[in-house]
Each structure stands twice: as C-alpha cells, then as structure tokens.
Structure 1
C-alpha cells in the first residue's frame, strides 16, 4: 500500500461525519412553530372577535396560507384573504357571527416553504358586532389583542451543531491543504 490510502480513508471518514452533521441540523430546524394565537386555545371571549391571529416563530408566506373560522353548525365565518404581517397571520371574521364555540383551522406556509397546519378553539358568549367593510380606501390597523399572546422562548439563534459543523469544515480544509502541500513536495 502507498501512503495515499490513509489520507483517502481519513478524508472519507471526515466526509461521512459531515453528512451526519448536516442531516441532524436540517432535521432539527425543519419547520417553524406556533408561538401564540388570539383568542388563545380554549379561551372564552365576550363577543365573536373581528379577527383571529396565529403567530409563528418566523414569518410565514402569504401564498398558500388559509385560515377558516368554523362555528358549531359547520359554517365558515372567515372573510377575505389571510393577512400576514411580520410573524402574525390574521384572518378577518364576517360581521354578525353567532355566539357559540368556534374551531379555527389554519394552514400556513412556513419560512422554509413547507406547509404546516393545526387548529384551536374558542367560545364566544355573544354574537359578533363587527362593522361591514364597505368601499373606500384600504387602511391597515393592527388592533391591540384582548389578551396578550403567550411568550415563547426564542430558539432562532444559531444551534451548537452549526458551530460544530463550521469548526469541522475548517479542519477539513486545513487537512486538505496539508495533504496537498505534502504531495506537491514529493512531486518536486
């Protein structure tokens, strides 16, 4: 055997290690998560709100997003498209929605372009009194939620596995430079 084979074996081992690290990083950071809803899941509110919101850990895409607000009889009271502003997806509710239990079924496209979905419920003790939207200029006003959204720990920092991967990559580059210099030294 020549001296080239141990270097090739070491390089192959490092490549396998890198593949394992890349696999664990992508699995760990696959999708965004819901950080809060308004109304919150299971909450009882005085009247049917004018809108519901789903807040994500990252900004969801507008295209492909859908939120339904379904009452006990199966009627969907959502109106208009889903409005996405920063990390919050908002769905307006038709005026005059009756009192009762509602199931909010949402489907959003996460920041990594994968669809995610879920649902939550709330109960309204009185019918909605929202105003009918008429013709006129479009104005975007973000109302203050009735109840503050639950705070969730921000896990958007760089994971240690990515830092470890970077260190391994630097080590591989250094090893490749050393091997190349040795080969060039032998060829001279």
Structure 2
C-alpha cells in the first residue's frame, strides 16, 4: 500500500510539473492591447501612421499590416516598423472619407502567428505624398546653369596657343636670315683667297732685287 501511495504522489507531482511547464508556453502568444485609430472609432481623417500595440514585442519575420478603403483599395506603403511592443504602418495616396479595414498578421516571440482585423471610420478625406513632384524642376535649372558656366572656359586657352605659333615662326625666320648671311660672308671670303701657289724669288738673286 505504501508503494501505491508513493506512486500516486509521484504521478501527481509529474502532472503538476507538466501544467507548470505548459503554462508559460500558452501565455507566450502575443495579445493586442490597443490600436491607433481605435477599433470601431471615428476620426477626423486617416492618420499617416496606423499603430498596433501588443503586450509583448513581436518578431519582424511574418509580420504584416494592410489598410484597405471601403472599395478594397490598399493604401499602406512600405514595411511595418517595430518599436518595443508597437507595430506601425504608414499609409499614402488619396484617402477618402469612409470606413477603413486594417488586417494584421504578427509573429509572436514563440513563433506562433496571430492574425485578425479591425475597422475605423474617417469623417473627412486626406491626401499624403502628393506634393513631392513640385521640386523636380530645380535640378534641371541648376544643371543648365552649371553646363553653361563650364562651357565658357573651354575657349579661353586659344589665344596663348596662337601666340606660341607666331613666336616660333619669328624664331625660324631669324635663324634662316642668319644662315643666309653666314653663307654670303663665307662665299666672299672664299673668293678673296689666292688660287695659285706663292711665287719664290729666283735662285742666286740677291735678296731684295
């Protein structure tokens, strides 16, 4: 009987241990605490960021938020942003008044996916991201100004090159004149030299006769 009692107590301990071990696993799934805009609320217009707050941080892998208008047009843009226990999603484009549906799927810390949806209503329309093309003409004008300024100096080096060619021609002329003058002088000197050998005085004649 003692053995049966010990075996029963051991079984009870093992059962309690299994419950204790399984409890944290069951509590590891994330729970949605609040949303912005609040679920079922009416806001003046659609905010630029839709935010979901959970009881614990979620994993980025597998997490996704989609925002749809009443006619099922998707207006979310870019990936969700995770900060601590919040998951935020940006929206863009023309956002009309009416009901919006937010569908979300997040991954809990234990890897378990959680998905659901909620709705809110915008009283007035709003537009995001429509003013960015206005700045496009500025780079074109600046590029044209820089191109016109950079083209002007390319013609400036021409005068020095012309001066170099004139100076070289003058030097060549001077050298040519010197060569001609030297040739004439050499020719005149050659003409004045005697052509025959010098005459010797006759033998036996007294010097000076």
Instruction: State the TM-score, normalized to the length of structure 1.
Output: 0.61
Instruction: State the TM-score, normalized to the length of structure 2.
Output: 0.56
Unaligned residue ranges in structure 1 (runs of 5+):
135-188
- 2:56 and 2:131 map into 1 onto residues whose CA distance is 30
Larger Rg: 2
RMSD across aligned C-alpha pairs, in angstroms? Answer: 2.5
> Counterpart of 1:38?
36
Aligned with 2:127: secondary structure? coil
Matched ranges for 1:86-101 at <5 A = 86-101=84-99
Task: Encode CA deviations 1:59-90: one digit per residue, 9 max, x unaligned.
Answer: 11111111111111111111110111111100
- 2:15 and 2:32 map into 1 onto residues whose CA distance is 34
> Counterpart of 1:115?
113
Larger RCO, structure (CA 8 Å, separation 6 or more): 1
Which range moved further: 92-101 or 57-66? 92-101
Structure with greater helix share of residues: 2
- 2:121 and 2:50 map into 1 onto residues whose CA distance is 12
> Counterpart of 1:152?
none
Unaligned residue ranges in structure 2 (runs of 5+):
133-209
Figure out how many residues of one structure are paired with residues of the other and give that number. 132
Which of structure 1's runs of 4+ aligned residues deviate more than 6 A? 3-6
> Counterpart of 1:21?
20
- 2:12 and 2:70 map into 1 onto residues whose CA distance is 59
Candidates 74, 77, 82, aligned match of 2:75: 77
Aligned with 2:121: secondary structure? strand
